Amino acid sequence: MTNLIDGRAFAREVHVETSVRVSNLLQRGIRPGLLFIRVGEDPASQVYVGMKERKAAELGIHSETRVLPSTTSEPELLALLDEANQDPRWHGILVQAPVPAGIEATRVFAHVDPRKDVDGFHPLNAGRLLLGELGGFIPCTPGGVQELLFRSGTTLSGAEVVILGRGNIVGKPLASLLIQRGTRANCTVTIVHSATRDIRAHCQRADILIAAMGSPEFVRKDMVKPGAVVIDVGVNRIPDPSTGGTRLVGDVAFAEVQPIAGKITPNPGGVGPMTIAMLMANTVKAAEQLTA
């Protein structure tokens, strides 16, 4: 079918735009810098940071990863952030989630200089997003979803959007983003969650259905309105009897939903590449603002 929203192709578009902005900064003698901080040896975190490092290098963004042992205390991590906040080499700082038990993630994210908060998790940037201010940083996955919708030609103004999931990383900020005034928003947004009565009924009326709840293949064909745009943010690892190992699936039962959807993201190859693209764009934005 030809109804796929190709996240890799749209991410390439964003990277081209970002590379132009990097070139402009380099002409001024400024090289954007992005510091990754990873605590512990979570295998998925190692993969994600590695992908981000490679893309930064491709775009001419200087990056470095500080790896701390899993025994690192919260005060030790905050001390490193104090150092990075003051270091002019770093225009962007990203603490890779998850952090080990004993470290409060919200305190860590709030400790990053909001001017360098390219993940968009600092309370100041969250507030700016809610207020519709343009100077802050939009979290990368919500920003990537919005770009996918806009660049794929999806009608946003007036659209009925249903978001499955009320998390601080995707659900809440994405709802805040899509209700704003503007050509890339202006939606009517409903968030459904574990306490919602009759989730199926909410989903069935959605023009745009966004699954971000971390529940493997939760969205089935009887939950989707024919012709709806379906965005699958989920990343879940489930047993794979055919190999005796595991495999990755999204929150959408792709094979049965694709024939019904007007447009749908593959998983992988949908939201993931756009998340990285928006991180790079945010890093360049930080460099532009800090050196203006």
The domain spanning residue 194 has which CATH number? 3.40.50.720
The answer to whether residues 147 and 252 belong to one domain is: yes
Based on the residue annotation, tell me whether 289 is a catalytic residue of this protein. Answer: no
- Going by the DSSP 8-state scheme, the letter that residue 262 receives in this structure is S
Domain boundary among 72, 97, 114: 114
Q: What is the pLDDT of residue 27?
A: 98
**Among 75, 129, 120, 71, which Cα is nearest to 95's?**
120
pLDDT at 155: 97
Q: Select which of 55, 113, 116, 119 is catalytic.
A: 119
For the beta sheet containing 229-232, the strands, ordered from the edge strand earlier in sequence to the opposite edge, are 188-192, 160-164, 208-211, 229-232, 263-264
Q: DSSP secondary-structure letter at 96?
A: P
Cβ neighbours of 68 (radius 10 Å): 16
| 96 noted as active-site residue | yes
Q: Kindly state whether residue 38 falls inside one of the protein's structural domains.
A: yes
- The answer to whether residues 284 and 21 touch, using CB atoms and an 8 Å cutoff, is yes
Give me 288's structure tokens: 């532009």
Counting Cα atoms < 13 Å in the Cβ hemisphere of 92 gives 34
Phi, psi of 210, rounded to the nearest 5 degrees:
-120, 120
Marked catalytic residue, from 52, 172, 263, 285: 52
83: its two tokens: 């150092």
- Of 55, 96, 116, 225, which residue is the catalytic one? 96
The CA distance from 274 to 142, in Å, is 9
Looking at the fold, whether 149 and 105 belong to one and the same domain comes out as no
- Per the domain annotation, does 132 fall within a domain? no
| Judgement on whether residues 264 and 207 belong to the same structural domain of the protein | yes
Residue 97 belongs to domain with CATH number:
3.40.50.10860
CA-closest candidate to residue 55, choices 14, 83, 23, 24: 14
* 171 and 91 both lie in a single domain: no
Q: Are residues 166 and 249 in the same domain?
A: yes
One domain for residues 244 and 156: yes
Structural domain boundaries, residue 106: 28-114
Both 65 and 108 in one domain: the answer is yes
pLDDT value for 231 = 98
User: Is 168 found in the same domain as 248?
Assistant: yes
The question of whether 46 is a catalytic residue gets the answer no
How high is the pLDDT of residue 59?
A: 98
Residue 90 lies in a domain: yes
Please say whether the beta carbons of 113 and 55 come within 8 A. no
Residue-wise pLDDT tens for the chain (292 aa)? 589 999 999 999 999 999 999 999 999 999 999 999 999 988 888 999 999 999 999 999 999 999 999 999 999 999 999 999 999 999 999 999 999 999 999 999 999 999 999 999 999 999 999 999 988 999 999 999 999 999 999 999 999 999 999 999 999 999 999 999 998 999 999 999 999 999 999 999 999 999 999 999 999 999 999 999 999 999 998 898 888 888 889 999 999 999 999 999 999 999 999 999 999 999 999 999 999 9
Verify that 160 and 105 share a domain, yes or no.
Answer: no
β 236-240/245-249 pair status:
antiparallel
User: How far, in Å, CA of 168 to CA of 141, rounded?
Assistant: 11
Of 114, 132, 148, the residue at which a domain comes to its end is: 114
Distance of alpha carbon 186 from alpha carbon 154, whole angstroms: 12
Is there a single domain that holds both residue 160 and residue 210?
yes
| CA-based R_g, the chain, Å | 19
Q: What is the pTM of this model?
A: 0.96
Q: Check whether residue 78 and residue 177 sit in a common domain.
A: no
In a domain, 5, yes or no: no
Token pair for 136: 């802050």
